[in-house]
Structure 1
Amino acid sequence: MASNRDFNYFKAFVELSGYSLKAAEILNNNLHNFNVNTIEEKVKEMHNVEHTADLEKHKVMNRLVKEFLPPIEREDIISITENIDDVIDSIEDVLIGIEIYNVQAIRPEIIKFTELIMNCCKSMNSALVEFEHFKKSKTLHDAIVEVNRLEEEGDALYINGVRNLYKTSKDPIELMVWTEIYRLLEKCCDSCEEVANNIENIVMKNS
């Protein structure tokens, strides 16, 4: 029978972040090839990814309850697991927003944002892959810095996108809908940065 020591929390973080990559890919593909007639089906596909990720998160938490001596502090394992889960939830929220606001067409500049979110998730995943070897890794710092850089790029896309929105439209419903969707998109990048910052803080505490 496998013991608790056989469970690798760092690999569990990487597996969990893999669901963020799947979610980001679903979001990007669906907004690239937007079809209002299939959005409900795509939201269900996204929710299946989010739900599976939730199950994986609970496995980590259940294992931690029984863990005698975790590799890093319990609260750090909990916080980084929840941070990764927040990324997945944030990505799902964008697609849900597209559906509930009955969006009929995607603004072209939105695609830049979904591609950026994919890159954020990839860099976050790279950081988590290196996290297990944080005492020796030569690339972990660069991956963290890249997530921070991409989040700043997301801030710029948000500011420029909302500014352009209010310059080109006077329709109150359109303004409300797209302002909210831009906010949801920015939150995805912010959530990735939370993971990166958390990794950096944990490394500092354990170095």
Structure 2
Amino acid sequence: MLFGKLLPREGNFFEMFNQHAERIVEAAQAFAQMVAHYNEPHLRERYAQDVDNAERAADRITHEVNKAVHKTFITPIDREQIHTLINTMDDVADLIQDSAETMSLYDIREMTEEITRLTDLSVKSVERMRDAVKLLNKLADAATAEAALKTCEEIDRLESDADRVLRSAMSKLFREEPDVRELIKLKAIYELLETITDKCEDVANLIEGIVLENS
């Protein structure tokens, strides 16, 4: 009995999930501001730095979660679910940072309507992902579990919207862009931005699995 009392239990995994999700939202919103102010170099650099700061903060939380998984004897949900969820969430943060860095590396001259639309869908997906993550610690409540599943469905719909925007953007790009170099650069950016929503959908699928197993 004493041995059991001395073993680490639970941990603060749900709180760390919430903190991580908030950092992803910060990165996404900073990226959206970078896109909105892309033609103002000082603001573009400032918001790009905000993206980097948020991504690094998310990385630190990911490290803490993975460390805690190994130190905690009894976890609130399956430890493999914890590991997969936090690392998939971290992939979202990485993709946002990659998008900001790629725009700079490829010397994208101006924002297109398609970049703006994909960015907006990415921000919405990330915000809904955060909302779903916040519900994980209350899955014993049937209404909360149902709300989590509905939020995941919204993320799926946003991913479908982004997929449609991407197909339309590609069609327009190959029909109208005469500069091959610009075409290649924009194609890469469009695909990268759509991947953010794909990865949010991956997180939603993981959350759905957790909900179904633990509610």
* TM bin (shorter chain): over 0.9
Q: Give me the whole-angstrom Cα distance separating, in 1, the residues matched to 2:67 and 2:107.
A: 39
2:189 partner amino acid: I
1:192 aligns with 2:200: yes
Structure 1 alignment gaps of length 5 or more = none
Contact 2:149-2:211 at 8 Å conserved across structures:
no
Residue 56 of structure 1 aligns with which residue? 61
Greater C-alpha radius of gyration:
2
Structure 2 alignment gaps of length 5 or more = 1-6
1:101 to 86, 106, 121: 106
1:23 to 15, 24, 27: 27
Residue 4 of structure 2 aligns with which residue? none
2:89 to 81, 84, 90: 84
Contact 2:10-2:72 at 8 Å conserved across structures:
no
* Matched positions, count: 205
2:175 to 167, 176, 186: 167
Q: Give me the whole-angstrom Cα distance separating, in 2, the residues matched to 1:140 and 1:204.
A: 10
Among the aligned pairs, what percent are the same residue? Answer: 29
RMSD of aligned residue pairs (Cα, Å) = 1.6
1:128 aligns with 2:136: no
Residue 118 of structure 2 aligns with which residue? 113
| TM-score normalised to structure 1 length | 0.93
Contact 1:19-1:49 at 8 Å conserved across structures:
yes
2:120 partner amino acid: E
Contact 2:38-2:111 at 8 Å conserved across structures:
yes
Once the two structures are superposed, what CA deviation does each residue of 1:75-107 show, in whole Å capped at 9, x if it has no partner? 110000001101101111111110000111111
User: Quick check: 164-173 or 147-156, which moved more?
Assistant: 164-173
Deviation at 1:202, TM superposition (A): 2.1
Residue 75 of structure 2 aligns with which residue? 70
Contact 1:13-1:128 at 8 Å conserved across structures:
yes
Once the two structures are superposed, what CA deviation does each residue of 1:19-78 show, in whole Å capped at 9, x if it has no partner? 110011011111111136334554333212111111111111111111011011111100
1:128 partner amino acid: V
